[in-house]
């Protein structure tokens, strides 16, 4: 059974992408970061590899999607509170992200979304499972 998750995303400008995600509070593992790739730490078991497009291309024979025009993946992360969702979305927007969906409040779950500088779509959700319907 897998014990870690590595999400690989192509980026146009690695330094710009790193600055964006550092602005959101994420750190990078220097052991797996160089001029071609940066290993963003989401948690002890979840990592996002930001790979410059030419390097990303070495891992696949398929073309690279333009995430500003087509959805390639929705990356969903949990949050510890509704306030964390609201604050993270506000900070992402301040750092240049675009908001592609309105927030949704289902009572027991609050979620909101942004697209990063390369168009990759991120969803943040806070869930209070004690309030979950039936």
The 10s digit of each residue's pLDDT in 7-38 is: 999 999 999 999 999 999 999 999 999 999 99
Residues 54, 36: Cα–Cα separation, whole Å? 8
Residues 126, 31: Cα–Cα separation, whole Å? 31
- If you average pLDDT over residues 84-98, what whole number do you get? 98
Of 48-52, 69-73, 81-85, the range with the lowest mean pLDDT is 69-73
What's the predicted TM-score (pTM) here? 0.90
Helix ranges, 24-101 (H): 53-57, 82-94
Three-state secondary-structure class, residue 52: strand
Domains of the chain: 1-62 (3.10.180.10), 65-134 (3.10.180.10)
How many CB atoms sit inside 10 A of residue 121's CB? Answer: 18
């Amino acid at each position: 059974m897998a014990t870690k998750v590595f999400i690989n995303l192509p980026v146009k400008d690695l330094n710009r992408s790193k600055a964006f995600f550092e602005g959101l509070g994420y750190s990078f593992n220097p052991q797996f970061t160089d001029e071609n790739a940066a290993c963003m730490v989401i948690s002890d078991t979840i990592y996002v590899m930001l790979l410059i497009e030419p390097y990303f291309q070495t891992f696949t024979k398929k073309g690279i999607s333009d995430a500003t025009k087509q959805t390639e993946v929705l990356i969903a992360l949990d949050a510890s509170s509704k306030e964390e969702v609201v604050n993270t979305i506000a900070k992402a927007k301040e750092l240049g992200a675009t908001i592609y969906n309105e927030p949704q409040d289902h009572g027991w779950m609050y979620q909101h979304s942004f697209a990063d500088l390369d168009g990759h779509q991120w969803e943040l959700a806070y869930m209070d499972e004690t309030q979950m319907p039936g």
